[in-house]
Amino acid sequence: MTHFPGRFAGKKAVITGAAQGIGECVARRMAAEGAEVALVDRAELVHEVATELVEGGATAYGITADLEQYTGAEAAVTEAHRALGGRIDILVNNVGGTIWAKPYEHYTPEQIQAEVQRSLFPTLWTCRAALPHLIARRAGTVVNVSSVATRGVNRVPYAAAKGGVNGITSALALEAAPYGIRVVATAPGGTDAPPRRVARGPAATDAQERAWYQQIVDQTVEFSLLKRYGTLDEQAAAICFLASDEASYITASVLPVAGGDQG
């Protein structure tokens, strides 16, 4: 990973879904580049990551919350705002992820609801909770993490949720611009990552479920012009660029980070 020392010096950042994966990588990079960071996740693992950052010399706070509920998002933002000295400069909304992988006709209504609850509402709620703080300062940047899977097989409810994240990005950018607030997003493609320490959902249990998941993998590689998955560092680099002052004239944009797959 290439760092840009001091890029986030003096900045206060809140990163959700920061216990592992892309969110953890973003938190580590921002901390290494000078930001004070509040890491939010519903997994207790987030406190281990925050402690490790503090032991490395960063200013970091771990916060546990269920962002699928507005009460959880409001409590998390309130705690982060207090911990960061009454200021939030950057919000990275990274919570979400496919729970099941199968053709739409095989989803139950409860599963459809759960997918949307997981991958749309944390961004919707956390933006709402943080916006008054950003408006009060007439400054700030929100980076949402969407997905190119808005055009993908075997994930219709997840695609719908991430399409909603794209809608939040464009519509909120329009409303927030008069206050000096930027709202942007990345749309990651397939990303290699270590095995998750906290699973998103049940693993495939039979040959049919494994075949449905393999269809996602095959499509991901096929649609990438570079014919590979990305890395966590490649995803974090794009998020950190959009969050930084280098991207000060970019708002309402969704940047695909998927090897040429535009989603």
Residues 174-194 pLDDT 10s: 999 999 999 999 999 999 988
Question: What's the whole-number average pLDDT of the chain?
Answer: 96
pLDDT value of residue 17: 98
Q: How far apart are CA 195 and CA 61, in angstroms?
A: 24
Neighbours of 85 (CB within 10 A): 10
8-state DSSP, 253: -
For residue 263, tell me if it sits in a domain.
no
- From the number of C-beta atoms within 10 Å of its C-beta (0-12, 13-18, 19+), residue 155 rates as buried
Domains of the chain: total: 1
For residue 6, tell me if it sits in a domain.
no
Task: Answer whether residue 197 shows pLDDT above 80.
Answer: no
With a pLDDT cut of 90, the percent of the chain lying above it is 94
pLDDT value of residue 203: 77
* Beta carbons of 170 and 182 less than 8 angstroms apart: no
For residue 262, tell me if it sits in a domain.
no
For residue 18, tell me if it sits in a domain.
yes
- From the number of C-beta atoms within 10 Å of its C-beta (0-12, 13-18, 19+), residue 42 rates as buried
Instruction: Calculate mean pLDDT across residues 153-176.
Output: 98
Within 8 A by CB and 6+ apart from 80, the residues are 14, 38, 40, 61, 63, 88
Of 66, 80, 97, the residue nearest 35 (C-alpha): 80
* Beta carbons of 88 and 133 less than 8 angstroms apart: yes
* Helices and strands (H and E) in the chain: how many: 8, 7
pLDDT value of residue 92: 99
Model pLDDT for residues 27-38, shown as the tens digit of each residue? 999 999 999 999
Task: Answer whether residue 14 shows pLDDT above 90.
Answer: yes
Q: How far apart are CA 158 and CA 170, in angstroms?
A: 19
pTM, two decimal places: 0.96
Kindly list the distances between the CA atom of residue 43 and the CA atoms of 59, 64, 116, 132, in Å, as whole numbers in the listed order.
20, 7, 19, 26
Catalytic residue IDs:
158
Model pLDDT for residues 28-81, shown as the tens digit of each residue? 999 999 999 999 999 999 999 999 999 999 999 999 999 999 999 999 999 999
Of 152, 178, 184, the residue nearest 166 (C-alpha): 184
Instruction: Calculate mean pLDDT across residues 152-171.
Output: 98
What share of residues in the chain are helix, strand, coil (percent, to 5)?
50, 15, 35
- pLDDT category of residue 196 using cuts at 50, 70 and 90: confident
With a pLDDT cut of 70, the percent of the chain lying above it is 99
- pLDDT category of residue 3 using cuts at 50, 70 and 90: confident
- From the number of C-beta atoms within 10 Å of its C-beta (0-12, 13-18, 19+), residue 116 rates as middle
Model pLDDT for residues 102-139, shown as the tens digit of each residue? 999 999 999 999 999 999 999 999 999 999 999 999 99
Model pLDDT for residues 240-257, shown as the tens digit of each residue? 999 999 999 999 999 999
CATH code of 194's domain: 3.40.50.720
For residue 1, tell me if it sits in a domain.
no
For residue 245, tell me if it sits in a domain.
yes
- pLDDT category of residue 205 using cuts at 50, 70 and 90: confident
Range of the domain at 223: 12-257
pLDDT value of residue 98: 95
